[in-house]
Chain A
Amino acid sequence: LQKGLLPALGVPDVQLSVTKPKSYDAYELYLRSQDSSYWSMAHNKDAILLLEKSVALDPGYAPAWLAVGLHYSDEADFGSGGEEMNQKTVIAYGRALQLDPRLLLASTELIEREAFYGNLSVSFARVQEVARRWPRRAEVHLAFSGVLRAAGALEEAARECNHSSA
């Protein structure tokens, strides 16, 4: 579903989860936030507003926490969010993982945040742990590439991205 049917229907970023939406209104807000127009910095804060309302109405739906974390992350890194937004990002990913430990994207996003927000040693430990749980997953190799880049191991990072042997 996640790799075939949903992208074909034009919803490439929906995360499948063991948690299920319990509020129609919250789920509708979440689905509205998945519109591609919200993946631009000009509309990032609008997406955050939708998703904050969604998780307030239904705090048990993990994909909504992951989605708000992704938008917080963009605001922290490329907008006007700063450290406060970074903290919100980490809390949102943590909440998503607490509700659904199988949300791989929440784990890999946390790894990259640790690598580029001053916890490089921790990110190496976490990427190994995540790789053990999800062997042979491209997302984990991509996150590992980011961690290696932060460590100045550029050739090793390129090995993880390796395009030429695709």
Chain B
Amino acid sequence: VNATTHRLDPDLNTGPCYVLYIHMGDLAKARQEIERSPGEFSTMMLGQVLVREGSVKEALPKLKLIPGGKNYELIEDCWPDSSTLKCAHTAKESEASFRSTAFTDAWYFGAAMQAFVGKKDAAIRLLRAASEPDLCIYPSVDRDPLFDKIRNSTEFNAVRQAGIDCQRKFAPYARIQIQ
């Protein structure tokens, strides 16, 4: 019952694990996992880690590797100043790019980047969109420093509550154990 991925196959590419550790706010462990799984996607996720650690410039070339969601352009045009027209345009494009897919986890990461650059409304829309088809964004949102700028807003707390409700709804499933 306690058999786990790494024990069963130490060589398996463990992409979902480093994404998980970012959701958990355990960036050191995310880095460890990324090192075990070299590739374009893991390098982009290292960019996500670096932004969360405050090393934004170092993150930029890594974010550029994955075009979907336009994270690179968003940071380039909106950080550290999100008050420009260029930023407003890019933020809109980034949100639309994320919404062109139905991949809810990507929406979560898109929301985090929008929140980081101070685009609260876009961040809330993406979080809400991710929550509606049952991506439980709680407790990830509580452990993610990129939401710090919008954490105290009413809208954030409403969507966070939806995440709590989602987690509660699936709690019985989370007790399932597999061989």
- Stretch in contact with the other chain, from A19-27, A48-56, A144-152: A144-152
Measured between beta carbons, the chain A residues less than 8 angstroms from B67 are: 41, 78-80
Rounded to whole angstroms, the CA-CA distance of A146 and B17 in the bound complex is 8
Q: Are A81 and B101 closer than 8 Å at their CB atoms? A: yes
Rounded to whole angstroms, the CA-CA distance of A151 and B166 in the bound complex is 7
Measured between beta carbons, the chain B residues less than 8 angstroms from A3 are: 9, 11
Contacts A146-B16, A149-B20 given; indicate if A136 touches B8 (C-beta within 8 A).
yes
Kindly identify, within residues 112 to 156 of chain A, every residue whose CB is under 8 Å from any CB belonging to chain B. 112, 116-118, 120-121, 124, 127-128, 131-132, 135-146, 148-154, 156
A97 → chain B closest CB, angstroms: 19
Judge whether B102 is part of the interface by a CB distance below 8 angstroms.
yes
Do most interface residues of chain A lie in helix, strand or loop, or is the interface mixed? helix
Measured between beta carbons, the chain A residues less than 8 angstroms from B19 are: 149
Rounded to whole angstroms, the CA-CA distance of A127 and B170 in the bound complex is 15
Q: Are B140 and A77 closer than 8 Å at their CB atoms? A: no
Per-residue 0/1 for B11-30: is the Cβ within 8 Å of any A Cβ (1 yes, 0 no)? 11010110111011000010
On chain B, which size bracket covers the interface? 35 or more
Measured between beta carbons, the chain B residues less than 8 angstroms from A116 are: 103-105, 135
A44 → chain B closest CB, angstroms: 10
Q: Are B68 and A79 closer than 8 Å at their CB atoms? A: yes
A46 → chain B closest CB, angstroms: 15
Q: Are A78 and B41 closer than 8 Å at their CB atoms? A: yes
Measured between beta carbons, the chain B residues less than 8 angstroms from A112 are: 16
Rounded to whole angstroms, the CA-CA distance of A120 and B140 in the bound complex is 17
Measured between beta carbons, the chain B residues less than 8 angstroms from A140 are: 178
Rounded to whole angstroms, the CA-CA distance of A99 and B123 in the bound complex is 42
Judge whether A28 is part of the interface by a CB distance below 8 angstroms.
no
Q: Are A152 and B105 closer than 8 Å at their CB atoms? A: no
Size of chain A's interface in residues, with CB distance under 8 A? 54
Measured between beta carbons, the chain B residues less than 8 angstroms from A98 are: none
Choose among A86, A139, A162 the residue that contacts B4 (Cβ–Cβ < 8 A). A162
Q: Are B134 and A150 closer than 8 Å at their CB atoms? A: yes
Kindly identify, within residues 128 to 157 of chain B, every residue whose CB is under 8 Å from any CB belonging to chain A. 133-140
Choose among B6, B9, B101, B171 the residue that contacts A163 (Cβ–Cβ < 8 A). B6
Judge whether B56 is part of the interface by a CB distance below 8 angstroms.
no
Q: Are A151 and B173 closer than 8 Å at their CB atoms? A: yes
Choose among B11, B68, B136 the residue that contacts A77 (Cβ–Cβ < 8 A). B68
A residues engaging B (CB < 8 A)? 3, 7, 39-41, 76-83, 86, 112, 116-118, 120-121, 124, 127-128, 131-132, 135-146, 148-154, 156-163, 165-166
B residues engaging A (CB < 8 A)? 2-12, 14, 16-17, 19-21, 23-24, 29, 32-33, 39-41, 65-69, 100-106, 133-140, 163, 166-167, 170-171, 173-174, 176, 178-179
